[in-house]
Chain A
């Protein structure tokens, strides 16, 4: 299964906002190990603070994504479902 998320095939795109690029990449790699494709995306204007980064994934995987990221102690500032 590819580790990069293709939004055209998604059936709905969800986002886990991680903040920094480093945390977004860590989230993407962690999800890839769990066979969940995701892609790093820039997420604009969170509460008027400026841009941050997160990972996009298929909403069909939303529950799995939360479990995987929590188990890996990856801080997620916001889930956008």
Chain B
């Protein structure tokens, strides 16, 4: 890439990765990338040790044990495994009105197949997002057959974040399985599965954890019920048995895991631990506020969910579709995502579906972004007009 790039699409994937992540991924692929759990020879063992190291780092970060950390292809696979693995026939499921399609679509598929009934609760409201209001909304929808509640911790189209500790406590008190999509919150805010009563936590390696793409994570809470499998196959254990073994994590890891990505992820987690999640969060909020301060002065710019600062900023420019704005920004190397962001529910909730912008323009910050990036973005938006 010869053009100067201003990357503002970290909600899609963080870029660039810390150099240590790239080095370790390369080191794995050149020095020790055997197939972990498929033998006890030196190269396989070193790969297995690295995978275990990553499980331990994730367990420490999120409040679970290494053996409860399961590697998947991505967050979508993790959520599908969690949701479909835990769904009880003829039960009722609640999801949030800001949830990503990776929650909506598997639940919709289960509902369409007649396996469950499902309902959307008002995670976000234009008028009142107090914890009491949210819990009250959940409470009026919970039924005797409500067995599962799934929600995004943080939205992927704005910086709204749910009070998952209180929701988790509510679910625990009523025996409702609580699954959290942490795709946009892992690495941006502290998550403690024990304290927050989370049964299953799903996230990607490649967003806030600064690891490579091609790896997702499903973490089971320490006392959580173990899901049924969605995918079966070889996992290096009891190869003569026709059935999958019944213990995590290998129960959920049919096939070869993405060892180079997991190796890189170890360094992404170390990077976060050194940099400090709170420091990253403050940096992102500061950039969000800087973006808000400049764009709110432009009357043609509409900002969504303006009360919530954080890593994600959503806006539109009157007179242009979101794609047109994105194209114009791309001409100057400014990378944003436009459209509906795989968030049918989120865009319905924020009202963009009723407007003529074809979605919205999403700006999302990472550790590498600077004040200058924001200033260039704002200048370009002004020039468009």
Report A's interface with B, CB cutoff 8 A: 19-23, 25-26, 29, 40-42, 45-46, 48-53, 75
Q: State the Cβ distance, A26 to closest chain B Cβ, in Å.
A: 6
Q: State the Cβ distance, B247 to closest chain A Cβ, in Å.
A: 6
Query: Residue B238 at the A interface, CB < 8 A?
Result: yes
Query: Residue B63 at the A interface, CB < 8 A?
Result: no
- Contact among B40, B241, B245 for A20, CB-based, below 8 A: B245
A6 to B55, CA, bound (A): 26
Q: Note all chain B residues with C-beta closer than 8 A to A50.
A: 237-241
With A25-B48, A26-B67 known to touch, is A19 a contact of B245 (CB < 8 Å)? yes
Contacts beyond the supplied A21-B48, A22-B66, A25-B52: 6 A-B pairs with Cβ under 8 Å: A22-B37, A26-B52, A50-B240, A50-B241, A51-B239, A52-B238
Interface residues of B in 45-74 (CB under 8 A from A): 45, 48-49, 52, 55-56, 66-67
Report B's interface with A, CB cutoff 8 A: 36-37, 39-40, 45, 48-49, 52, 55-56, 66-67, 236-241, 245, 247, 249-250
A42 contacts B40, C-beta separation under 8 Å: yes
A26 to B66, CA, bound (A): 8
Chain B interface mostly helix, strand, loop or mixed?
loop
Residue of B nearest to A42 (CB): B40
User: Sorted from nearest, which 7 A-B pairs have the closest CB atoms?
Assistant: A50-B239, A50-B240, A21-B37, A42-B40, A25-B52, A49-B238, A20-B250
Q: Note all chain A residues with C-beta closer than 8 A to B40.
A: 40-42, 53
A21 to B48, CA, bound (A): 8
With A26-B52, A26-B67 known to touch, is A21 a contact of B250 (CB < 8 Å)? yes
Q: State the Cβ distance, A4 to closest chain B Cβ, in Å.
A: 11
Residue of B nearest to A75 (CB): B247
Q: Note all chain B residues with C-beta closer than 8 A to A48.
A: 240
Q: Which of A20, A42, A46 has the largest count of B CB atoms less than 10 A from its CB? A: A20
A51 to B249, CA, bound (A): 17
Q: State the Cβ distance, A43 to closest chain B Cβ, in Å.
A: 9
- Contact among A23, A40, A42, A45 for B67, CB-based, below 8 A: A23
- Contact among B45, B56, B66, B237 for A52, CB-based, below 8 A: B237
A22 to B39, CA, bound (A): 13
With A19-B245, A53-B40 known to touch, is A40 a contact of B237 (CB < 8 Å)? no
